[in-house]
Amino acid sequence: MKYLLVGLVFTIGGFFGYGQKHFSISGSVYDADTKDLLPNVIVKLSQNISRTNAGGYFVINNLAPGSYTVQFEKLNYEIQIASFGLADRDINVNIYLDKAATKIDEVKISQLSKDRLARESSAVTYEVTKDYLDQNRENTLMQSLQNLPGIQAMGIGVGQSKPMIRGLGFNRIVVSQNGIKHEAQQWGSDHGLEIDQHDAGSIQIVKGPASLLYGSDALGGVINLRSLSVPYSNGMVGSVQLLAESNNNLLGTTFGLQARKDRWFYRARFTLNDYGDFKVPADKIIYENYVFDLSDKHLRNAAGTEKDMSFSFGYADSSFKTETFLSNYNAKNGFFANAHGLEVRTSSIDYDHSDRDVDYPYHTVNHFKMISNSTLIFDHHELRLNVGFQNNVREEHTEPVAHGYMPKPVGTLDRRYVKNTLTADLQDEMKFSSKHSIVFGVNAEYQNNGIDGWGFLIPSYDRFTAGVYAYDKLEIDDNVFLHSGLRYDLGTISTDSYYDWYPSLLGSDMKYLKRASDNRSKFDHISAVAGLSYIRNKTNYKINIGKSFRIPLASEFSSNGVNYHMFRYEKGNQDLRAETSYQLDAEASYENGKVGLSLTPFINYFDNYIYLNPTANYFETLQVYEYTQNKVFRAGGEISAEYRPFTKLGMEATAEYVYSRQMNGLKKGFTLPFSPPFRALFSVNYLFNNIWFLQDLRLKTDLRLSAKQNNIVPPERTTDSYGVLDVALTAVIRAFKEQHPTIRLKINNLFNQKYFDHLSFYRLIEVPQPGRNASISLTIPF
Amino acid sequence: MKLEILKRMVLFSIFIIAASCAKEDEQIDTEKPVINVSYDNAFPKSCAVLKRGNTYIFRALATDNTGIASYGVDIHHNFDQHTHDDQPGVCPLDPKKTAVKPMIYMQNFAVPDAGTSYEIYREISIPQDIDPGDYHCQISVIDKTGWQSRTSVDIKIIE
């Protein structure tokens, strides 16, 4: 018998119970797959044995404060053991039992308490489980998440992508991993997220203002990657996954293990992906008047590799938990050889002799992280300390070419960035009663960026930010939660001057142009949030209003030079103020096990959105783009409906829309760059009967529809509508006695449609999205 | 009841959001200017041969729905054959070579009163002492909104 152990610490404060009242643990037990309520589940608390009723409900009464371990058992289901800390109130939980045939390869994250917390929160949040990630795995983390309503991936080929939430991307959203803000967005659009997606246990997505807890940048939302939960039992478990894909001949593997010995535990993971040029359903790329013939439909030089490893170790007891993570992400990616950015290139390099090699232009990225998370529980306090160090290095290599007054440079190092970031975050959550808690926190971050190479885009800079905040949660009535918070931030950013290494003609003299100036700017900002959440049985209403901010980037202040890849002259603006955004969110949702409905609209207003405006002027012969601040109005939302008419069939439909408009300035009436088009997703999930040794055989089809995007700003192009069908088949192979591998077959873009993604880096040069891709993965647990 | 009030607040805000989205857009300019370098009097045309020491009149026609705002002319060498022009046909290129004193001509001109159709007409002298060989002549035009079009012509400068 295989035990599946789920740790559930609902109210950790309960380990130190106060008061002598008695409480109850109650809840509903569901089938984890079908979400059907399960009757007759044996519920064991030491000698106390009861069963769930016909409605799948159980209750254990008369419990003194303390910690309890409850076992849930039903024929043909995995046994589940859950721990509860009972402090000062009754606990009501949902328990999900996995079918016995389903072998979970890693300790499963409990989604129970998180689900409840998400419903109590007034912010519009979305919980992504490890199961969802495993079933929807794509090449990059953001591609794995892009079917979620309101989430978009800005792609660069197949191996890299950046996150976008409701049309805001780059530094207007925060990606946080293990409690520390991931710093990788400052370098422009042509590189990805720098995260091994297999390192994420579960993911919380906040679709709305979140500066209050995350500080600068969290205007549009947060993607919060949590680590896997602490292994529950002694011993070691692990899994290895093998992956192959047809479109770009990808071969990949990820190997992970975790072990626990009493209170100590460790985990390790290695991931390797190597892929060739991806194929598009086209024989040629037509960009402006240029025609690039493709060899065998391969987008030449789009190959790459990714090598990641991570290790963590920790200690956990009932009142103290600490874990230290060490991780390194390393990638090398080629860029389309005929045009990079907007720049058309010819070369004598024989790109077509192999579709696996990476030649110029390419980049390498290395992101090292060391993060420590600690939690200490005493009295009514939960003290959390997160400390992180990040070092990332990016090099961009291009064939040297003379440009304008720049003679042909020596070597291939176009740009090099070295960035070090130190972050510390200390929080004290005080639970005054079962109805009232306050979090106090302080947060500080120091960042230093150094540059090298013959190309110039971003100056060297130092940035320091610090914030102090308080967040209050109060249950003002039965199941009505009032949230409010206030935060104050201070920040400074100092940029170093930069002069061209070659002279240019200025007036009648040849001069070394100054392209960034010594500058020091200070900011301070007050963020605030207030919201209500009301849970009534199966219905949940939320309303939330928040003010968030972003400190301008060094490049937004002080660029003053040519970006040759985009063929434009970028001019910074030293008068920029911190970007401020006000957002009103609402949510109405309903879930009864068979039917799920959700509506999440928002309105958003920016006082001073920082926008790189294409002007009608030239510098030399390049168009001048100037950073300006405009008022921007945005609104939109998502709607989703789920229907599970019977246990084996699930259907889902979602739609999302964002409207953006610049309210003043030179582009009044225009939208913002990279505006996502209206999108809809229809998804059908069917569970077949077992066929011989194939069990849990599941077919999933996703039809992704996107409307035409006519709302553009220079230099964008309108993008046509499209519909793409993806199909996936997964099964558990029960050929062996103990361990049961999972196999997954997936075909993306089944009909090999030629379509363009408005959010792709390659959109501007008319490169379509990848053609049909068949992938097979095998996950073997041990 | 409080809960009813909250529910109404949520529904009301949904309504407000829906209403604000429904507002009609004002007309915005989404058209790029067009550059014509192939009409009879246009100069230089693809594969044109220019002589050092001579002066030429560069002509191209720019049109746009809202109005031309500025244009640029960029002449740079292609001795390393780093790119090719966007005109039909392929021009014969000399062998690759290293630049010693290449011609660099980068000028831009604001034409605020150009209107929706404007003929670029500019005298350019080819200096006597520059490297002969293959060059590109790139003409770019920006309209009043900030839409830019570029076109590029392969030319050869001879002694």
Q: Clarify whether residues A636 and A501 are in a common domain.
A: yes
Report whether pLDDT(A158) > 80: no
Does residue B16 or residue A176 have the better pLDDT?
A176
Query: Across the interface, do B142 and A290 touch by the CB < 8 Å criterion?
Result: no
The shortest CB-CB distance from B83 to any of A345, A542, A659 is to A345
Span of A109-123, A399-413, A548-562 with lowest mean pLDDT: A109-123
CATH number for position A29: 2.60.40.1120
CATH number for position B138: 2.60.40.10
Q: Clarify whether residues A503 and A574 are in a common domain.
A: yes
> Within a domain: residue B21?
no
The shortest CB-CB distance from B14 to any of A401, A567, A599 is to A599
Set of chain A residues whose Cβ sits within 8 Å of the Cβ of B32:
714
Q: 3-state class of A14 per DSSP?
A: helix
- 3-state secondary structure labels for all residues of A344-363: ECCCCCCHHHCCCCCCCCEE
Q: Clarify whether residues A444 and A506 are in a common domain.
A: yes
Which band of pLDDT confidence, cut at 50, 70 and 90, is reported for residue A7?
very low
Chain segment A731-743, per-residue pLDDT in tens: 998 877 777 899 9
CA distance A534 to chain B (A): 7
Percent of chain A scored above 70 by pLDDT?
A: 94
Q: Clarify whether residues A223 and A344 are in a common domain.
A: yes
The shortest CB-CB distance from A480 to any of B2, B21, B71 is to B2
> Within a domain: residue B55?
yes
Chain segment A291-309, per-residue pLDDT in tens: 788 888 998 899 999 999 9
Which of B16, B148, B149, B151 to probe by mutation at the A interface, max A CB count within 10 Å?
A: B148
What is the residue type of A506?
L
What is the reported pLDDT for A136? 87
Q: Clarify whether residues A165 and A87 are in a common domain.
A: no
Give the mean model confidence (pLDDT) for residues A382-403.
92
> Within a domain: residue B127?
yes
Report whether pLDDT(A659) > 90: yes
Q: Clarify whether residues A95 and A133 are in a common domain.
A: no
In this structure, the strands spanning A91-97 and A362-378 are unpaired
The shortest CB-CB distance from A616 to any of B11, B18, B142 is to B142
Set of chain A residues whose Cβ sits within 8 Å of the Cβ of B138:
621
> Within a domain: residue A107?
no
Set of chain A residues whose Cβ sits within 8 Å of the Cβ of B102:
402
What is the reported pLDDT for A771? 93
> Within a domain: residue A109?
no
Q: What is the mean pLDDT of chain B?
A: 86
Query: Across the interface, do B80 and A408 touch by the CB < 8 Å criterion?
Result: yes
- Characterise A186 by phi-psi region: left (phi > 0), alpha (psi -120 to 50), beta (else): alpha
Which band of pLDDT confidence, cut at 50, 70 and 90, is reported for residue B15?
low
Q: Chain B residue closest to A532 (CA)?
A: B6
Report whether pLDDT(A71) > 90: no
Nearest to A191 by CA among A25, A329, A349, A39: A329
Domain with B45 in it: 29-158
Span of A316-320, A671-675, B6-10, B52-56 with lowest mean pLDDT: B6-10
CB of B10 less than 8 A from some CB of A: yes
What is the reported pLDDT for A18? 38
What is the reported pLDDT for B18? 63
Chain segment A285-294, per-residue pLDDT in tens: 888 767 788 8
CB of B2 less than 8 A from some CB of A: yes
CA distance B3 to chain A (A): 7
Report whether pLDDT(A250) > 90: yes
CA distance A344 to chain B (A): 6
> Within a domain: residue B2?
no
Please give the tally of structural domains in chain A.
Answer: 2
Query: Across the interface, do A621 and B107 touch by the CB < 8 Å criterion?
Result: yes
Domain with A539 in it: 125-781
Set of chain B residues whose Cβ sits within 8 Å of the Cβ of A666:
146
ipTM of the complex: 0.87
Give the mean model confidence (pLDDT) for residues A86-95.
82
**What is the per-residue DSSP string for A241-288?**
EEEEESSS--EEEEEEEEEEETTEEEEEEEEEEEE-PPB-S-SEEEET
Query: Across the interface, do B17 and A603 touch by the CB < 8 Å criterion?
Result: yes
pTM: 0.83
Report whether pLDDT(A724) > 90: yes
> Within a domain: residue B82?
yes
A234 contacts: CB under 8 Å, gap ≥ 6: A260, A261, A262
Q: Clarify whether residues A72 and A178 are in a common domain.
A: no
Which of A291, A399, A618, A708 to probe by mutation at the B interface, max B CB count within 10 Å?
A: A618
Q: Clarify whether residues A39 and A152 are in a common domain.
A: no
> Within a domain: residue B16?
no
What is the reported pLDDT for A230? 75
Which of B1, B5, B21, B122 to probe by mutation at the A interface, max A CB count within 10 Å?
A: B21
Residues 85-124 of B with CB under 8 A from A: 86-87, 99, 102, 104, 106-108, 110
> Within a domain: residue A663?
yes
Residues 68-87 of B with CB under 8 A from A: 69-74, 76-77, 80-84, 86-87
> Within a domain: residue B154?
yes
> Within a domain: residue B75?
yes
Q: 3-state class of B92 per DSSP?
A: coil
Q: Clarify whether residues A64 and A159 are in a common domain.
A: no
Query: B7: buried, middle or exposed (CB in 10 Å: 19+, 13-18, 0-12)?
Result: middle
Chain segment A9-56, per-residue pLDDT in tens: 333 333 333 345 788 888 889 888 777 888 888 888 877 778 888 888
Does residue B21 or residue A456 have the better pLDDT?
A456
CATH number for position A436: 2.40.170.20
Please give the tally of structural domains in chain B.
Answer: 1
Does residue A404 or residue A409 have the better pLDDT?
A409
The shortest CB-CB distance from B13 to any of A344, A408, A543 is to A543
Does residue B86 or residue A511 have the better pLDDT?
A511
Beta carbons of A346 and A313 less than 8 angstroms apart = no
Chain segment A601-654, per-residue pLDDT in tens: 999 999 999 999 999 999 888 899 999 999 999 999 999 999 988 888 999 999
What is the reported pLDDT for A1? 33
